[in-house]
Amino acid sequence: MWWEQDGHLEVRQNQLYIAGFSAEAFAKQYGTPLYVYNGNRVIENFRAVKEAFSEFKARPRIHFAMKANSHIAILKLLEREGAFIDAVSPAEVQIALKAGFPREKILFTGTSVSTPELKALAKLGITINIDSFSQMQRLRDLGFKGDISIRWNPGIGAGLHSHTITAGKFIKFGIPEHKIESAFLQAKAFGFNLVGLHQHIGSGWLGKDVDAFLETVGKTIAIAVKAEELTGKKLKFVDFGGGPGIRYRMEQAGFPLKKYAKGIVEKMNSSGLKAEIAIEPGRFIVGDAGIFLCEINTVEEKNIPVIGVNAGFNDLVRPAFYGSYHEIVVCSNVNGRQKKQYMVAGNLCESSDVFNESREALRELPTPNEGGILAILNAGAYGFAMASNYNSRLLPACVLLLDGRSYLIRERQSLDELIKSERES
């Protein structure tokens, strides 16, 4: 199978193994629905990014985009590897601190940030990435005198879905190009310590988008030079954001990490800037390290063949929300010859609750048995992170596999936990 990887995902005697563990036996041990993360794969992916830049004699600040996966156990793995953090909410900042990241390695980048949130962030002593003039003004009113960077919108976006594109005209993020110089001057007038410039064009782009990305790298470097001229200060870093994607389909090529790293390093070296390179990968580091396991409860011919499972888009929303493709594997019969086109249906009261790309996009799968286990691959990024309690369903458990051992890193939510914040009239 195209997704097999030694030591990570393997097919043995027609059964799926994750980091050496039988997926089906593992699901029955911990129960389902269940997120499983291969911690060694997370480390391997992080090191691949670092090594790609090392080849060009660069040591970037690798800010893990923790919105992709904010489990403390995974954050601790990355902290030990030397990662920085890209946090997008005050709670993410607090979680990163709890995971052991020092304040100086956390960059907060938010949008439509409220004044109470800004007040809380100002007390935490982390660098705040400014997204708007309003945010800058309100920070000044709070008496903030700390380190800031400024997020600008380079006008070019890219992403695997329109919802994940974060630069361009009809986008809420960042300071537009025609206002960016005014932002630098305002930051200087307010007495802020401008230490960085930031861009982020979108999430999940692959090889065809790298050239467009590198065009924005050039634009951002030119703006960084202008920032230093206008403020009379040297920047500590230029942050080119995140976005590198992963293979979700067989026909997709892997992300061209070498081309990406080389393009950034060469453009920075030719600019004369002494600032550090910063990047914000999230999906690339954790995406293929996560597998979602669920139990088959129904195999039935309706108007179409249906496989019903004990999970829904409350657990993994990407197919319903983005029309995303995830490989689906029958764990005990991976390469079965008797196949049929199935709708893989969730247990929510919603017609969009399917794990196919849509209701009409049926998936050819080996005929499964009720009580068996399905694995949904590439679920490590924006899987559990986007889970909800819709239909009053409980959040799933999460397990980390590391060095041949398994660890429960998040317990399955209980009904008492679900309703503990409710108050009777």
User: How would residue 215 be classed by pLDDT, with cut points 50, 70 and 90?
Assistant: confident
DSSP assigned state of 379: -
Residue 23 has which token pair? Answer: 């997926």
Instruction: Compute the distance between CA of residue 86 and CA of residue 84 in angstroms, rounded to an integer.
Output: 7
Q: How far apart are CA 230 and CA 184, in angstroms?
A: 7
d(CA 195, CA 8) in angstroms, rounded, equals: 40
Percent of the chain with pLDDT over 70: 95
For residue 205, name the pLDDT band (cuts at 50, 70, 90): confident
- pLDDT at residue 161, as a whole number: 43
322: annotated binding-site residue? yes
Name residue, tokens 């380079």.
154
Tell me what the mean pLDDT of segment 197-214 comes to: 80
Does residue 86 surpass a pLDDT of 80?
A: yes
Q: What pLDDT is recorded for position 340? A: 94
Q: Is 60 annotated as a binding residue?
A: no
Does 331 qualify as catalytic in the annotation? no
Q: How many CB atoms are located within 10 Å of the residue 199 CB?
A: 26
pLDDT score at 112: 83
- pLDDT tens, position by position, 251-308: 998 999 999 999 999 999 999 899 999 999 999 999 999 999 999 999 999 999 999 9
Q: Which CATH architecture has domain 9-38+287-419?
A: Beta Barrel (2.40)
Residue 93 has pLDDT above 80, yes or no: yes
Question: Comparing C-alpha atoms, which of 417, 370, 366, 365 is closest to residue 396?
Answer: 417
202 is in an annotated binding site: no
Residue 234 confidence (pLDDT) above 80: yes
Looking at every residue in the chain, the average pLDDT score rounds to: 92
Does residue 280 have a known ligand-binding role? yes
Residue 162 has a pLDDT of: 47
What pLDDT digit, counting tens, does each position of 386-415 carry? 999 999 999 999 999 999 999 999 999 999
Task: Please state which CATH class domain 110-281 belongs to.
Answer: alpha beta
Q: What angle do CA 58, 62, 67 make, to 5 degrees?
A: 160
- Amino acid 153: pLDDT: 79
Report which of 279, 259, 271, 167 is spatially closest to residue 211, judged by C-alpha positions: 259
pTM of the model: 0.94
Span 30-56, average pLDDT: 98
Residue 170 has pLDDT above 80, yes or no: no
Contact 85, 100 (CB under 8 A): no
Task: With cut-offs at 50, 70 and 90, classify the pLDDT of residue 171.
Answer: low
* Each residue's pLDDT tens digit, 341-390: 999 999 999 999 999 998 889 999 999 999 999 999 999 999 999 999 99
pLDDT at 164: 45
How many whole angstroms separate alpha carbon 132 and alpha carbon 150?
Answer: 9
Locate the domains of the chain by residue range: 9-38+287-419, 110-281
What span, in angstroms and rounded, lies between the C-alpha atoms of 217 and 222?
9
Q: In this model, does residue 168 exceed pLDDT 50?
A: no
Catalytic residue among 294, 331, 349, 398: 349
C-alpha 404/C-alpha 186 separation (Å) is 54
pLDDT at 167 over 80: no
Work out the average pLDDT over 306-333.
96
Please indicate if the annotation marks 417 as binding a ligand: no
Contact 251, 325 (CB under 8 A): no
